[in-house]
């Protein structure tokens, strides 16, 4: 009887506390996130929002800027030509070639990046210059680098297509004309270097194919026999040293 009374007391106590617990659970605040467009009378808020949007756009395009406005394009294309000429298919893998091209790009472009940091970024952080002045100063050493690697023929092509006045100095050439001219110049240079890389390995393939044909081994793929000789030739000539050194000197 005593146990029954205790159970009934606990049941009644629980029933009485149930509404209070439910109301407490309802009072728990859940954070919400709201994004909207509202009216404002402060033009500065609009300016800051536009600046943030432009900054996010630049960050999204940063990989393209790094690839197309630096030495990365020539390096990665030449390395891929080298891999195809040797005939190792996917060795070294793409990650290794891209990583090597990226670090060589930082090495080659270090004087340009250092100049941008000293002339544009540091004064802008110190609030000595504005955004427009910082952008102009940052673009100057990059334009100088691109002008050195761009052929006059490619520049003339895009100047005529853009229908701008005949420039008297490099400063008169707009950046939107310089960038595509620099890109196709880099592609042309990379393909020329790739052709020169192919010649010794192609000659080795032809010699191996002639030997196999003279021996009557027409069913044996020449690439299978020439691959070890290509690797030996490349290693004995210290190919990576010569390749990287030649590419560095080309800039």
Confidence at residue 6, expressed as pLDDT on a 0 to 100 scale: 47
Q: How confident is the model at residue 235 (pLDDT cuts 50, 70, 90)?
A: confident
CA–CA gap between residue 178 and residue 174 (Å, rounded)? 6
pLDDT, one tens digit per residue, over 85-99 is 887 777 788 888 888
pTM: 0.68
Q: Which of 145, 178, 144, 185 is nearest to 162 (CA)?
A: 178
pLDDT, one tens digit per residue, over 195-225 is 888 888 888 877 777 777 777 766 766 667 7
CA–CA gap between residue 64 and residue 53 (Å, rounded)? 18
Confidence at residue 49, expressed as pLDDT on a 0 to 100 scale: 61
pLDDT, one tens digit per residue, over 135-185 is 788 888 888 888 888 888 888 888 888 777 777 777 778 888 888 888 899
């Amino acid at each position: 009887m005593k146990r029954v009374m205790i159970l009934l007391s606990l049941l009644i106590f629980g029933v009485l506390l149930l509404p209070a617990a439910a109301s407490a659970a309802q009072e728990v605040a859940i954070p919400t996130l709201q994004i909207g467009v509202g009216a404002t009378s402060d033009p500065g808020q609009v300016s800051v929002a536009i600046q943030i949007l432009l900054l996010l756009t630049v960050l999204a395009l940063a990989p393209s800027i790094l690839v197309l406005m630096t030495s990365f394009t020539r390096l990665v294309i030449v390395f891929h030509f080298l891999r195809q000429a040797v005939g190792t298919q996917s060795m070294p893998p793409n990650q290794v070639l891209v990583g090597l091209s990226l670090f060589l790009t930082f090495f080659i472009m270090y004087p340009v990046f250092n100049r941008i940091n000293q002339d544009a970024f540091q004064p802008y952080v110190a609030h000595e210059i504005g955004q427009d002045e910082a952008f102009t100063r940052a673009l100057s050493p990059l334009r100088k680098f691109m002008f050195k690697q761009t052929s006059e023929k490619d520049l003339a092509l895009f100047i005529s297509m853009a229908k701008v006045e005949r420039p008297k100095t490099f400063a008169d050439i707009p950046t939107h004309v310089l960038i595509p001219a620099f890109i196709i110049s880099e592609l042309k240079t990379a393909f020329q270097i790739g052709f020169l890389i192919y010649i010794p390995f192609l000659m080795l393939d032809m010699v191996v194919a002639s030997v196999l044909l003279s021996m009557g081994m027409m069913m044996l793929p020449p690439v299978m026999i020439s691959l070890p000789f290509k690797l030996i030739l490349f290693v004995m000539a210290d190919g990576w040293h010569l390749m990287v050194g030649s590419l560095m000197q080309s800039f």
